[in-house]
Structure 1
């Protein structure tokens, strides 16, 4: 007896739906498809109009919403250039730079040539967008590590989409994911608000060289803050990893602090090289003189993630001796120390991506700090609380993102 073929249905399903799902090419679910085009940049009659012209960078990662056009074209551009007017509620699919991004656009728009748009959809538009998003994310992962920079519009249209025949089931699935997206967006906004509030607190709770008191202060603390040189509140670390006490090579990320270099850069460091590295223990600080966007004077970070590790001698390392360590860590999260680095950096300060400042000049940099240790502790505690809340919010966001990935796997075929 021939075996009865299994029904084509997802692993997780809403109650009451039992019908088989249908399989079609993407080309068959839209009444119309659109490519894109870029109006001539030299023709001023085409630009600074009021019609949205979308690029890949205008679409957010891992969501079908959050499209923010940054450029606008004129009606002339739509009439006589390669740009096309695409009706609202169409699906914009990135085909080249940024493959994997997909969005349901709620307004009339045009795109660069890096897009394919599907209009006049024959199935629920939200369901179709989520399904195509899943398809294109898989495509993007397959392209990683290859020299191929995109996918042709023909290949996109030949891809298969599997969907429930019942539009009601399509709506149920897409509505659940839309709600999850809403909660994720809400968490992202709250996380960003916390980060901005922390940034504002750091500016108000600390003072720079030209001030003696902060703008925001705890009750019962009234005395002026004092200028101190870094060399008087810390000790330089020169200990070497001579006995290979640690095989964990560290690097300093302005965003993530002291992190494992092999994971961060995805490359190994020879153990012979590590023998001459600086040996750092948990709680030690290091200065990365390399500048980057948003960090014009490098980054100073504390080793928190590991018990010990080793660091290139290109960095300057030190240990706090006469100041609260948390207070100092938060101080270096502000820009209050930039002026001192600028003052001490030699002429022609930028050399091969590094600031030209000697260790001696670095340790002669001045900080303005409370003389009362209790005030240092209180400031450190409130910023630590902000960090804790930010971590909790980030964990919630990670869990929600994981939930969304699970739903995309189980609710779709």
Structure 2
């Protein structure tokens, strides 16, 4: 690739291409294909030979480059005008500006079913000057998203019309350069997809291991996984130390654990000027918000302070424990289900009594096995974290290409 400062060509360009890009209205480069107000209510389980595309499946990412018709829902035919391979389908309604004009493209080697476009969709069939894959990729560029923000309308639901899109002026190169641009973007996209599947596999492995390690069963003493069974009050003690306003504010979150809440984080959920009554939180402490219990306890690996609404507790001095094992146990499905039995209140605002928690019987292995389990889960967490970082870097590369290979 070469870098260009000419505004009539993109910043990044493949070697050997020197022609200026042509500017044309999208409506002059495409044919509009009819779509129908078909909703999920029309879907049936019977194979009818007719399938359809719903805008919701585009937004969720289920439909991107459609290479397998079998993933599409079945509907009864009603003399619908069918789509063809190469058609680009755009969702014309979204709950936020980010989703305006999300798109998918039909990439089929052979069409085995009749496919039609459903509710809240606009279909473009590119002519010989515009490759469908190039248009599909163009709909994901920051240039196009900015256009969507500008012309999209609505308050609770944002929409974009065919007239908005057909009047949009896009710049495009000749077909051979379009193919190269789309190919490199598609390669990076496929790599991201593969890495995401790898991440999903890691998460699935961890979930299955969690179900094995934390199923609260009692087994024979001769079994390797013999578990102790004692009340929580024999393991944990609550405490409350106040008067540390100079420390960073922490907040409990089931998904993120303990996170910094001042300048170190942008996810500030609340602010409070008087921090004198905030409670000290130290590494290896557990935290739960009793009045808005959301299904689990948070574990802290930092020193800071938490709102007075949180209960802070830790292991008693005479208890041998592995912090990773217990952090994961308190996030496990079986433990969450156990906790839900002692919560009270409405579904979205459930509370928990800490004394009820202390009365629960908890099962766990000896410290040697805790250490082994903790070590396995810790290594998995490292792999999951590394995998997320790989995906993040690849997505940054893709975003860079989308910003610099289009104008």
Q: What range describes the TM-score normalised by the shorter chain of this pair?
A: 0.7 to 0.9
Tell me, yes or no, if the aligned pair for 2:100 and 2:152 is still in contact at 8 Å.
no
2:371 matched residue in structure 1: 377
Superposed CA offset, 1:276-317 (max 9, x none): 33332233212246889xxxx61222123x43231351x332
Aligned to 2:111: none
C-alpha distance in structure 1 between counterparts of 2:330 and 2:40, whole Å: 46
Cα contact 1:290–1:298 (8 A) shared by 2: no
Provide the aligned length of Structure 1 versus Structure 2: 383
Residue of structure 2 in register with 1:149 after alignment: 158
- The question of whether the paired residues in 2 share the 8 Å contact of 1:101 and 1:136 is answered with no
Deviation at 1:62, TM superposition (A): 11
Cα drift, residue 393 of structure 1: 0.7
- Which of 300, 304, 311 matches 1:303? 300
Q: Are residues 1:114 and 2:124 paired?
A: no
1:129 corresponds to:
136
- The alpha carbon displacement at 1:36 in A equals 3.8
In the alignment, is residue 405 of structure 1 matched against residue 399 of structure 2? yes
Residues 322-352 of structure 1: per-residue CA shift (max 9 Å, x gap) = 222111011123123235324434xxx2337
RMSD: 3.4
Name 2:188's counterpart in structure 1.
180
TM-fit CA distance, 1:90: 0.7
Q: How far apart, in 2, do the equivalents of 1:66 and 1:279 lie?
A: 53
Q: 1:155 Cα shift?
A: 0.7
Q: Per the alignment, do residues 105 and 400 of structure 1 end up closer, same or farther by CA in structure 2, a change over 3 Å counting?
A: same
| 1:143/1:124 CA distance change after superposition, 3 Å | closer
Q: List alignment gaps of at least 5 residues for structure 1.
A: 215-219
Q: Does 1:239 align with 2:241?
A: yes
Alpha-carbon distance in structure 2 between the residues aligned to 1:40 and 1:387: 38
Structure-2-length-normalised TM-score: 0.82
> C-alpha separation between the residues in 1 aligned to 2:224 and 2:270?
52
Question: Residues of 2 paired with 1:221 and 1:362: CA distance?
Answer: 28
2:77 is aligned with 1:75: yes
Q: Any residues of structure 2 matched to 1:27-106 within 5 Å, and which?
A: 27-38=27-38, 41=41, 49-59=48-58, 60-61=60-61, 64-65=64-65, 71-76=73-78, 78-79=79-80, 85-97=82-94, 98-106=99-107
Counterpart in the other structure of 1:341? 339
- The correspondence for 1:350, drawn from 342, 345, 353, is 345
Structure 2: gaps of 5 or more residues: 109-113
Q: Distance in 2 between matches of 1:118 and 1:291?
A: 48
| Whole-angstrom distance in 2 between the partners of 1:246 and 1:366 | 35
Q: Quote the residue 1:327 is aligned against.
A: 325
- Normalised TM-score (structure 1): 0.81
Pairing of 1:245-256 with structure 2 (within 5 A): 245-252=246-253, 254-256=254-256
Cα shift at 1:33: 3.6
Secondary structure, aligned partner of 1:104: strand
Aligned twin of 1:199 = 207
